[in-house]
Structure formats: C-alpha cells, structure tokens
Amino acid sequence: MKLLVAGRNGQVARSLAERAAARGLDLVALGRPDLDLTEPAGIAPALQRDRPDIVVNAAAYTAVDTAESDSEAAFAINADGAGALAAQCAELDIPIIHISTDYVFDGGKQAAYVETDPVDPLGVYGQSKLAGERAVIAANPRHIVLRTAWVYSPFGHNFVRTMLRLAETRDELGVVADQTGNPTYAPQLAAAIFDIAAALRRDRERRWGIYHAAGTGDATWYDFASEIFARSAEHGGRRPRLRAITTADYPTPAPRPANSRLDCRKLAQAFGITLPHWRDGVRDCIDRLARHHAIN
C-alpha cells in the first residue's frame, strides 16, 4: 500500500512518516513547494507522479489565534485547498483521509460530542476546518473525515513542549481548568490512520464518512499539565506549582470551546480502533523527549 501525505512538517504528518517504515508501508509526505494546497494547479501533477493508493490530508493552517486576523489564509488551506485535493483524488479514483478538529463544535454540550451533533464553530480556525470537511465530502464520495483534538507529540509546537519550556524558567504556572477535551498523541493517531487505510484497502465494505479519533479519557488543560510535570519529574525535570485558572483569566483572540470531548465509539464499531488513554501517550512522549535530552 502506498500512501501520500499532504503536509510534511506537522505533528501528524511527521508521526505518519516515522511509523510508515516500521509497518512496511510506502509513504510519500509532500509539503510546499512540492504540494501546495493554495496552488490547486500543482495538485494533480503530484498525485499523478506518485500514484498513491490512499491520500491522507494532514496539511492545515493550525494557528488558532492568528487565524482570527488571517482568515483568508486559513480558508485557503483548510477549506479551498482541502476541497481541491479531494477533488483531484476523486478524478484519479483515490480515497482520501482528511484530518479535522474538535473546534467544529461550540462546546455547549454537556456530554461528549458524537459525529451527528450540530456543528457551530466559535472562531475562524474552526469555521475554516468545517468548510474543509464539507468541501472534502462534496468533492470525493470516497472519504474518511477524522476529527481529532488536543494533538501533541515529541516534536513541533504543542502543549507538552510549551509546558516543559515554561517550566525551565517559572516556579508557578496558571493553567486553564474549565475547558475539557481529549489529549491525543500524534504517533497513536498515526497508527489509527494506518489501520483505517489498511481496512479500506482490505475490505469490500467501504465505511466512508465522518469519525471521531482522539485519545481515550477526558482532561482539562490543568489535568494535562499536571500529568506532563509528573512524568517529567521522573526524568529530573522541573516541576513548577500549578494554579488552576479560568478561561476568563487567560483571554485569547480566538474563543475556545469549554467542552470539546469527542465520543469515538463509531470508530471503534466500524474499524475496531480505540486510541490508548491520553496518559499513556504523555508517558511515551515524555520518555522520548528525555532520551533526546529535551527535559532539564
């Protein structure tokens, strides 16, 4: 099986690339300038050159706060670019797995969100990702849309690395404790994507549609930070005091959903896939960072 991943430097794309060899998969990860979703004319040549069995769209504009003042760029990549990629895949009869986000929901529901719940994103980032979902679905009937949440990994910009960096110089940190979600470890999400791709290739029954794929278990950002520092301390890392704060105490340009928990039972029922508990991912992430001397 040959996969083409749109996006090369993001957390999910890098996790897919590093795990492909271990699975014996032929994977090509393309980013700018080889594959630029803001330049639709270049998409078809890239697909025709590499002729993948499945395309994974892990390319995205993910700067949530910056998107509020840069909506044109966010929509160009997350919506127009995603739709153009899906359309070219359809032309070549290639299925697409498209990565989306919990931010398509407004956070007002008390329970975890299921795939059929009404969508109502609060900010530009979520709006552009929702538009991308709709563009992909309209352009290519052979689609899997994977909504995930709170992605972290040993590389790139993410909450784990930010907390560890702040701990180097601060004795106390205020962390938001009134937003709840599912921290998702990118390497574990990558494994789930490979399993989905394999099932799509293997089975006659095609299970196209929208699915939620996030780490098992709920957490607030405060819970997440607490676990990060507990695991880091095992490797000699600094453990600052944590102070629980509210969303109002930490205003941001883009509003965040208070509840972005994702119910992932549909994925388990359709593909037999359940991501590990988020605490397991944190442990592995911190262990990897410690091996690379990224924890003081």
Residues with active-site annotation? 125
Structure tokens at 189: 């999400």
H or E stretch including 5?
strand 2-6
Nearest alpha carbon to residue 4 among 15, 16, 21: 16
Q: From CA 168, how far away is CA 145, in angstroms rounded?
A: 38
H or E stretch including 54?
strand 54-57
Q: From CA 193, how far away is CA 93, in angstroms rounded?
A: 19
Structure tokens at 61: 């504009």
Nearest alpha carbon to residue 33 among 54, 70, 59, 67: 59
What DSSP designation does 244 have?
E
Question: How remote is the C-alpha of 182 from its chain's centroid?
Answer: 11
